[in-house]
């Protein structure tokens, strides 16, 4: 008979049984479910709601259940619907009546809410650690390439010279916000719903601060209906993960472009690429493509739970059992993507000559040429127009700006002097962009120091 079988005259239809059960996916929260029960039982005893003997039997029994589940000795079954009823059934089979007292002053509604928060809390810590490791991989590469000139792009058109370090450090900075977004989410998540009961608290003299503290929460949630009803913490986590995946997806897209023959800025390690079954020459960036692809899946997970929640009246509704699969999928996906991405980044071969060659074309020193005239006294807007006509001249004469003779330059403006050639060197153009946050080595060094300090500070 079901734990809730008292009111019923018939067995559950087998189709309904399978349809209703969530053990296939909530079974993974067995440890959190047991932690919650341990804290609950201890509190019940301290408050004199159950006897100390019963609490001791429950504690010992739960520890055995935990060991049995971990060793595979205990089986979690859909006959017991979900993880909460599976654990309770296993416990009662071991210790009898004391096990039946565990559910005093508690409901599965506050139980599932506390389990999920506990579960996601440690997943956040694991994801954070993986992001920090990816940032370390970025740092390793950035340190090698502060002087590696590459074209910076806007509209995917060559724009101004930057260094490869500067480009990588942009992602390093985005990932800092991903880390702090997770920390914010964790902070808001860290309130305890246990003791909310089914929805309206309980008539027993429970101590919600006791269980909240025992489980490492900052405090009990302030409202019992809210405690069992909201899943904003799971949604917030999936939003943060979606933003993180959006960053990884853009990074992936660039890795894919960079290792194409059209760019050839990098070459992926054999261990991080795959071949084609028909084209013998192919070396494909499948890892980056999959990270980009899986981003859609994480967005879908977020949309799924947002949609599930949007029309639900307070308090608990069974619809909310649909929260777990998307949030677990999002967490699992991100946890798969981060380490493989970091490995791909660590092992890639950077081809600075090709980056330099690409930076040489496309007139990416045109802004610097205008700045040269501006510094000699010409208003910037006039200088901009003058250099525009120089670029046009160059395109019709198949020349680069630095290949023009001083006579040709002087036709456009008498302000051009011999020192223009130094000013137009890409190394100069990049090296002089030393404004705060710019690509000059002085600034990439500062960014590297900052990122290193961030990683150290946020490591557990
Ligand atoms: N398995 C359920 C869930 O994940 C637990 C709560 C069920 N409560 C209830 N009254 N049916 O949402």
Report the 10 Å Cβ neighbour count for 87: 28
Whole-number percent of the chain with pLDDT over 90: 93
CATH value at residue 380:
1.10.40.30
* pLDDT at position 282: 77
Q: 30-46 vs 108-144: helix axis angle to the nearest 10?
A: 130
Atom 4 of ligand 1: nearest residue by CA position: 321
Q: Which of 28, 108, 196, 229 to mutate to test the pocket of ligand 1 (most atoms within 8 A of CB)?
A: 108
In 221-347, the DSSP E strands lie at 266-267
Residues 252 and 346 in one domain: yes
Per-chain mean pLDDT for the chain: 96
Residues 226 and 134 in one domain: yes
Q: Which of 82, 85, 86, 320 to mutate to test the pocket of ligand 1 (most atoms within 8 A of CB)?
A: 82
Residues 403 and 345 in one domain: no
Residues 25 and 130 in one domain: no
Q: Is residue 41 part of a domain?
A: yes
Question: How much is the average pLDDT of 158-171?
Answer: 97
3-class SS of residue 3: coil
252 classed as catalytic: no
Q: Is residue 429 part of a domain?
A: no
In 55-165, the DSSP E strands lie at 149-154, 157-163
pLDDT at position 275 over 90 = no
Residues 340 and 403 in one domain: no
Catalytic choice (51, 122, 260, 276): 276
Q: Is residue 443 part of a domain?
A: no
Q: What is the pTM of this model?
A: 0.94
Domain end: 43, 73, 104, which one? 104
What are the pocket residues of ligand 1 if the criterion is a CB atom closer than 6 Å to any ligand atom?
Answer: 22, 26, 82, 108-109, 112, 316, 318, 320-321
CA of 318 to the centre of ligand 1 (A): 6
CA of 88 to the centre of ligand 1 (A): 14
Residues 36 and 159 in one domain: no
Residues 63 and 156 in one domain: no
CA of 256 to the centre of ligand 1 (A): 44
Domain end: 357, 376, 391, which one? 357
* pLDDT at position 115: 98
pLDDT at position 408 over 90 = yes
Residue 433 contacts by C-beta under 8 Å, 6 or more apart in sequence? 160, 162, 439, 440, 443
Count of domains observed in the chain: 3
Residues 128 and 250 in one domain: yes
Cis peptide upstream of residue 315 (ω within 30 degrees of 0): yes
Kindly report the backbone phi and psi dihedral angles of residue 227, in degrees, each rounded to the nearest multiple of 5, phi listed first: -55, -40
- Encode pLDDT of 10-63 as tens digits: 888 899 999 999 999 999 999 999 999 999 999 999 999 999 999 999 999 999
247 classed as catalytic: no
Q: Residue 329's pLDDT band (boundaries 50, 70, 90)?
A: very high
Residues 242 and 126 in one domain: yes
80 contacts 23 by C-beta, under 8 angstroms: yes
* pLDDT at position 279: 80
pLDDT at position 3 over 80 = no
pLDDT at position 421 over 80 = yes
- Encode pLDDT of 111-162 as tens digits: 999 999 999 999 999 999 999 999 999 999 999 999 999 999 999 999 999 9
Q: Which atom of ligand 1 is nearest to the CA of 320?
A: 12
CA of 49 to the centre of ligand 1 (A): 24
Residues 228 and 342 in one domain: yes
CA of 240 to the centre of ligand 1 (A): 26
| Rama region for 233: left / alpha / beta (φ>0; ψ in -120 to 50; rest) | alpha
86 contacts 80 by C-beta, under 8 angstroms: yes
Domain end: 332, 357, 382, which one? 357
Report the 10 Å Cβ neighbour count for 403: 12
Domain span at residue 173 reads 109-194+218-357
* pLDDT at position 147: 97
Q: Is residue 282 part of a domain?
A: yes
Q: Is residue 284 part of a domain?
A: yes
- Encode pLDDT of 371-399 as tens digits: 999 999 999 999 999 999 999 999 999 99
Residues 88 and 143 in one domain: no
Q: Is residue 210 part of a domain?
A: no
- Encode pLDDT of 49-88 as tens digits: 999 999 999 999 999 999 999 999 999 999 999 999 999 9
Residues 389 and 281 in one domain: no
What's the CA gap between 139 and 323, in Å, rounded?
37
């Amino acid at each position: 008979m079901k734990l809730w079988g008292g009111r019923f005259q018939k067995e559950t239809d087998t189709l309904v049984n399978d349809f209703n059960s969530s053990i296939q996916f909530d079974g993974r929260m067995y440890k959190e479910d047991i932690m919650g029960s341990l804290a609950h039982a201890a509190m019940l005893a301290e408050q004199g709601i159950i006897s100390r003997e019963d609490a001791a039997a429950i504690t010992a029994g739960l520890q055995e259940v935990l060991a049995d589940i971990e060793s595979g000795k205990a089986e979690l079954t859909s006959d017991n619907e979900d993880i909460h009823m599976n654990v309770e059934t296993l416990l009662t089979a071991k210790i009898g009546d004391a096990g039946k007292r565990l559910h005093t002053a508690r409901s599965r509604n506050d139980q599932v809410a506390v389990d999920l928060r506990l579960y996601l809390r440690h997943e956040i810590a694991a994801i954070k650690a993986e992001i920090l490791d990816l940032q370390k991989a970025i740092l390793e590469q950035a340190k090698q390439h502060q002087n590696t000139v590459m074209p910076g792009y806007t509209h995917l058109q060559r724009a101004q010279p930057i260094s490869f370090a500067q480009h990588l450090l942009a992602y390093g900075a985005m990932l800092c916000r991903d880390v702090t977004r997770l920390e914010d989410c964790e902070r808001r998540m860290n309130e305890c719903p246990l003791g909310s009961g089914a929805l309206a608290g309980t008539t027993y003299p429970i101590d919600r601060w006791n269980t909240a503290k025992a489980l490492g929460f900052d405090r009990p949630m302030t409202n019992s209906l809210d405690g069992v009803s909201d899943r904003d913490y799971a949604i917030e986590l999936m939003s943060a993960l979606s933003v993180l995946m959006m960053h990884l997806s853009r990074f992936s897209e660039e890795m894919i472009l960079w290792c194409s023959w059209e760019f050839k800025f990098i070459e992926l390690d054999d261990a991080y690429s795959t071949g084609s079954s028909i084209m013998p020459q192919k070396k494909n960036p499948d890892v980056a493509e999959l990270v980009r692809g899986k981003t859609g899946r994480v967005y879908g997970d977020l949309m799924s739970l947002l949609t599930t929640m949007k029309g639900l009246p307070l308090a608990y509704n069974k619809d909310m059992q649909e929260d777990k699969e998307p949030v677990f999928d999002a967490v699992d996906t991100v946890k798969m993507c981060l380490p493989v991405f970091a490995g791909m980044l660590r092992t890639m071969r950077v081809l600075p000559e090709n980056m330099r060659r690409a930076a040489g074309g496309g007139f990416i020193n045109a802004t610097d040429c205008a700045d040269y005239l501006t510094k000699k006294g010409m208003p910037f807007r006039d200088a901009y127009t003058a250099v525009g006509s120089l670029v046009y001249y160059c395109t019709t004469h198949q020349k680069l700006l630095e290949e023009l003779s001083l006579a040709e330059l002087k036709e456009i403006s008498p302000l051009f002097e011999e020192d223009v050639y130094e000013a137009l060197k890409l190394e100069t153009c990049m090296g002089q962009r030393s404004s705060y946050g710019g690509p000059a080595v002085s600034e990439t060094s500062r960014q590297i120091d900052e990122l290193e300090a961030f990683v150290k500070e946020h490591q557990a």
